[in-house]
Amino acid sequence: MDTISSDNNESFSYLPILALIIGLIAGVLAGVALAKVSNINKTLSDQSALVDRIDALETELRQAATSADNATQRINRVASDTNTALQRVSEAFNELQTKVDEMQGPAPVQVASTPAPSGGGSDGGSGAVAGTYTVRGGDTGSKIAREAGVSLTALLNANPGVDWNRLRVGQVLNIPAQ
């Protein structure tokens, strides 16, 4: 019986050691798992803060977009109102210009009672001046000749030395006899 009892004692003595080793391995694995879970919780917490910040930025962006849309609508309204007002001003200005033109009538051609010789210019043959004309804003040589009833060439010849590209308001021109 000695042999049986010694065999039982030997196999029984290894079981607590094996259980202790398995317990230690389980404890280490539990510690590693606990560290990993803690690390994951920290990462989730950081990501949750980032998600909250992204949500806040998204809200601010939507508010800015709404403000920009409102501003664009107001700008378009102001532009439309300004365009309408400018059209009204333009129409009123055109009406006033028409009334002023009607009040001024045709360009005044002052005809002398007796023809005088033009001082050296030629009107196409006669050399006589029928009168004078005072330049007004917007006048051109052709317009003055047409209103005075003379040819442009005769008007040019009756006014030597006149720069027809730079007529001045108030400048007096000779109107040749017809």
Q: What is the pLDDT of residue 159?
A: 94
Q: What is the pLDDT of residue 109?
A: 52
Query: What is the mean pLDDT for each group of 10 consecutive residues in the chain (178 residues)?
Result: 50 77 94 94 89 92 92 92 89 81 60 42 56 92 92 93 92 90
**In the chain, where are the structural domains located?**
1-105, 106-176
Beta-strand runs (E) in 66-169: 109-117, 128-134
Residue whose structure tokens are 């360009």: 107
Q: What is the pLDDT of residue 125?
A: 45
Q: What is the pLDDT of residue 23?
A: 93
pTM given for the model: 0.36
CB 168 within 8 A of CB 149: no
106-176 CATH fold: Membrane-bound Lytic Murein Transglycosylase D; Chain A (3.10.350)
Token couple for 81: 């109102």
Q: What is the pLDDT of residue 155?
A: 93
What contacts 129, CB < 8 A, 6 or more positions away? 112, 115, 116, 117, 118, 123, 158, 174, 175, 176, 177
Select from 73, 93, 95, 96 the least CA-distant residue to 85: 93
